[in-house]
Amino acid sequence: MQKTTHKTNSSAEKQNVKAILIANPTSGSYTTHAHQIDRIISTLRQRGWQAELKLTEASGDARRLSREAVEQHLDVVIAIGGDGTIHEVIQELAGSDTALGVLPSGTVNVWAREVGIPLDLNGASEVLLNGQTRRIDLGKLDDRYFLLMVGIGVDGEVTHAVEKKPVKRFGVIGYLLVAAWWGARYPAFRASLRLNNQIIKVHALQVIIGNTQLYGGAMKYTWKAKCDDGLLDICVVRRQSILRRLPVLLDFLLRRRQRRQWVRYEVSDTINLTTTEPVAIQVDGEPVGHTSTSEEQPTRLTVVPQSLKVIVPQILPEDLFSQPPL
Ligand SMILES: Nc1ncnc2c1ncn2[C@@H]1O[C@H](COP(=O)(O)OP(=O)(O)OP(=O)(O)O)[C@@H](O)[C@H]1O
- Taking the chain (326 residues) in runs of 10, the rounded mean pLDDT of each run is 46 76 90 87 95 96 98 98 97 98 94 97 96 97 97 92 69 75 85 95 96 93 96 94 83 84 93 97 96 97 98 94 84
Residue type, 156: G
Q: Kindly state if the Cβ of 148 falls inside 6 Å of ligand 1.
A: no
**Residue 94 CB partners (closer than 8 Å, separation 6+):** 138, 145, 304, 307, 308
Q: Given the CA of residue 88, which atom of ligand 1 is nearest to it? A: 31
Domain count, the chain: 2
Domain that holds residue 42: 3-136+306-317
Q: Closest by alpha carbon to 309, among 90, 119, 156?
A: 90
Please indicate, yes or no, whether residues 177 and 192 belong to a single structural domain of this protein: yes
CATH of the domain at 96: 3.40.50.10330
Nearest alpha-carbon partner for 172 in 58, 74, 82: 82
Same domain (yes/no): 156, 287: yes
Same domain, 61 and 191: no
> What's the pLDDT score for residue 256?
85
Residues near 57 by beta carbon (within 8 Å), at least 6 away in sequence: none
Separation CA 104–CA 234 (nearest Å): 27
Same-domain status, 26 and 93? yes
Residue 156: exposure state from Cβ atoms within 10 A (0-12, 13-18, ≥19):
buried
Interacting residues of 247 by C-beta distance below 8 A, sequence separation 6+ = none
Q: Say how many Å lie between the CA of residue 56 and the centre of ligand 1.
A: 10
3-state helix, strand, coil in the chain (%, to 5): 35, 35, 35
pTM for the whole thing?
A: 0.91
In contact, 239 and 206? CB cutoff 8 Å? no
Cβ 108 under 6 angstroms from ligand 1: yes
The answer on 72 and 150 residing in a single domain is: no
* Sign of torsion over alpha carbons 9, 15, 17, 21: positive
